[in-house]
Amino acid sequence: MSKILDKFLNENLEELRNAGLYNEIDPVEGPNGPTIKIGGKELINLSSNNYLGLATDEDLKVLAKEATDKYGVGAGAVRTINGTLDIHVELEKKIAEFKGTEAAISYQSGFNCNMAAISAVMNKQDAILSDELNHASIIDGCRLSGAKIIRVKHQDMDDLRAKAKEATESGEYGKVMYITDGVFSMDGNVANLPEIVEIAKEFDLITYVDDAHGSGVMGKGKGTVKHFGLEKEIDMQMGTLSKAVGVVGGYVAGKQNLIDWLKVRSRPFLFSTAVTPADVAATQGALQKIMDSTELHDKLWENGDYLKAGLKKLGFDIGQSETPITPCIIGEEKLAQKFSKRLMEEGVYAKAIVFPTVPRGTGRVRNMPTAAHTKEMLDEALAIYEKVGKELGILK
Ligand code: PMP
């Protein structure tokens, strides 16, 4: 190994480990359901994005197997050569139906979708106004586009209005976009889309909503944009197929001309092989289930409200959550990690989230209840939270 690389890696890894910031990965030995097995031990799982429990759904497993039998295990090529199977096209129609738009395009992941779509639409003559707590993939997509990035204070509509005015009236930029998460995954709060749309109309901003955590969760399952009835107003509805939908992939839904453009200008669509037939079939089935019934959605919210009320009653700081995502904000990184470790020893898997995923000094354990949890599991988890919270002096 190169000496300089060796030195770089060792020094930086040591620094991270000493600061308690090195994230150790625990492999899961089986399905990622309401409980998971790690190190041979069964734990109550409060860390997955499998909001509706669809990642382990029996009907979807059958669809995935049938598609594998019919098409094989791989798509065989990138979408623009001959990796577009008929079921990829059907899936994109279903996504458009789900999102209430003219058309949609799918990608291999939510992360590469943000990289692809932002950089296909914006370029170095443009400016992007971006909420300061936007997801890493949005930040990377903005950087890749070469556009001027203007950070907007988190959910601060006065700051957005002022910066939109400045950017559009300066004459320095071509297009100006505002981009935000629909649901912020670290705190569970929801973007103020009605006011965002008003400001966007005033300054002709392109609106881009990453609804990775809102789809399946908000708007009776159809997402944050639907929740506010703004399907016709938001230009680019981005989402992931890996969280509530339970499979893998990302998408943008919008007008036909937008999707036509993305099909010829977004690089992962052009240069990276399409998702597998099993993924596509399971995703189609999952979207259909979400559209057909709100049963899982309702159960998710019932469980979210229950856990949230329980944690609040115990005295945890649960921040500003408006969705089932419920953080317990601890503060100091090492304490958050110790809390998470003790929870795991006692039977709950709730991962600590620390800098750089969240700002320094706001380390937390984030709880993600799902539709698949039972009340008994949540009660057991709450009893463990109380025990460990008191033991570590987080609770009085
Ligand atoms: N956007 C947001 C807001 C996310 O939370 C995530 C996933 N962590 C992504 C995009 C990326 O999605 P995927 O996991 O499908 O790549």
Q: What does the pLDDT read at residue 391?
A: 97
Q: Which of 270, 292, 314 is the last residue of a domain?
A: 292
Query: How many domains does the structure of the chain reveal?
Result: 2
Residue 139 and residue 88 share a domain: yes
Residue 308 and residue 220 share a domain: no
Residue 24 and residue 116 share a domain: no
Out of 240, 245, 272, 325, mutate this one to test ligand 1's pocket (max ligand atoms within 8 Å of CB): namely 240
Report if residue 67 sits inside a domain. no
Separation CA 168–CA 117 (nearest Å): 22
Query: Which residue has its alpha carbon closest to ligand 1 atom 12?
Result: 110
Residue 208 and residue 115 share a domain: yes
Output the CA 170–ligand 1 centroid distance in Å.
33
- Residues involved in catalysis: 185, 213, 243
Looking at ligand 1, which atom is closest to the CA of residue 248?
15
**Amino acid identity, residue 25?**
I
Residue 110 beta carbon below 6 angstroms from any ligand 1 atom = yes
Q: What does the pLDDT read at residue 255?
A: 98
Residue 92 and residue 32 share a domain: no
The CATH number of whichever domain residue 121 belongs to comes to: 3.40.640.10
Residue 210 beta carbon below 6 angstroms from any ligand 1 atom = yes
Q: What does the pLDDT read at residue 26?
A: 85
Report if residue 61 sits inside a domain. no
Residue 43 and residue 13 share a domain: yes
Out of 111, 181, 224, mutate this one to test ligand 1's pocket (max ligand atoms within 8 Å of CB): namely 111
Residue 109 beta carbon below 6 angstroms from any ligand 1 atom = yes
The β-bridge partners of 57 are: none
Q: What does the pLDDT read at residue 271?
A: 96
Q: Which of 292, 310, 337 is the last residue of a domain?
A: 292
Q: What does the pLDDT read at residue 252?
A: 98
**pLDDT (tens digit, 0 to 9) for every residue of the chain, 396 residues total?**
999 999 999 999 999 999 877 878 889 999 999 999 999 999 999 999 999 999 999 999 999 999 999 999 999 999 999 999 999 999 999 999 999 999 999 999 999 999 999 999 999 999 999 999 999 999 999 999 999 999 999 999 999 999 999 999 999 999 999 999 999 999 999 999 999 999 999 999 999 999 999 999 999 999 999 999 999 999 999 999 999 999 999 999 999 999 999 999 999 999 999 999 999 999 999 999 999 999 999 999 999 999 999 999 999 999 989 999 999 999 999 899 999 999 999 999 999 998 878 888 999 999 999 999 999 999 999 999 999 999 999 998
Q: What does the pLDDT read at residue 358?
A: 87
Q: What does the pLDDT read at residue 355?
A: 85
Q: What does the pLDDT read at residue 145?
A: 98
Output the CA 181–ligand 1 centroid distance in Å.
10
Helical axes 277-292 vs 58-71, angle rounded to 10° = 140
Residue 373 and residue 256 share a domain: no
**Got the DSSP string for 227-260?**
HTT-TTT-SEEEEESSSTT-S--EEEEE-HHHHH
**Got the DSSP string for 31-84?**
--SSEEEETTEEEEE-----TTSGGG-HHHHHHHHHHHHHH-S---SBIIIII-
Residue 250 beta carbon below 6 angstroms from any ligand 1 atom = yes
Report if residue 62 sits inside a domain. no
Query: What residue numbers bound the domain in which 374 lies?
Result: 3-56+294-391
Output the CA 349–ligand 1 centroid distance in Å.
20
Report if residue 386 sits inside a domain. yes
Residue 51 and residue 83 share a domain: no
Residue 240 beta carbon below 6 angstroms from any ligand 1 atom = yes
Q: What does the pLDDT read at residue 359?
A: 86
Q: What does the pLDDT read at residue 53?
A: 98
Q: What does the pLDDT read at residue 388?
A: 97
Residue 305 and residue 286 share a domain: no
Q: Which of 267, 292, 317 is the last residue of a domain?
A: 292
Structure tokens at 202: 């005033």
Report if residue 10 sits inside a domain. yes
Structure tokens at 52: 């509706």
- How many C-beta atoms lie closer than 10 Å to residue 374's C-beta? 12
Residue 164 and residue 113 share a domain: yes
Residue 212 beta carbon below 6 angstroms from any ligand 1 atom = yes
Q: What does the pLDDT read at residue 20?
A: 73
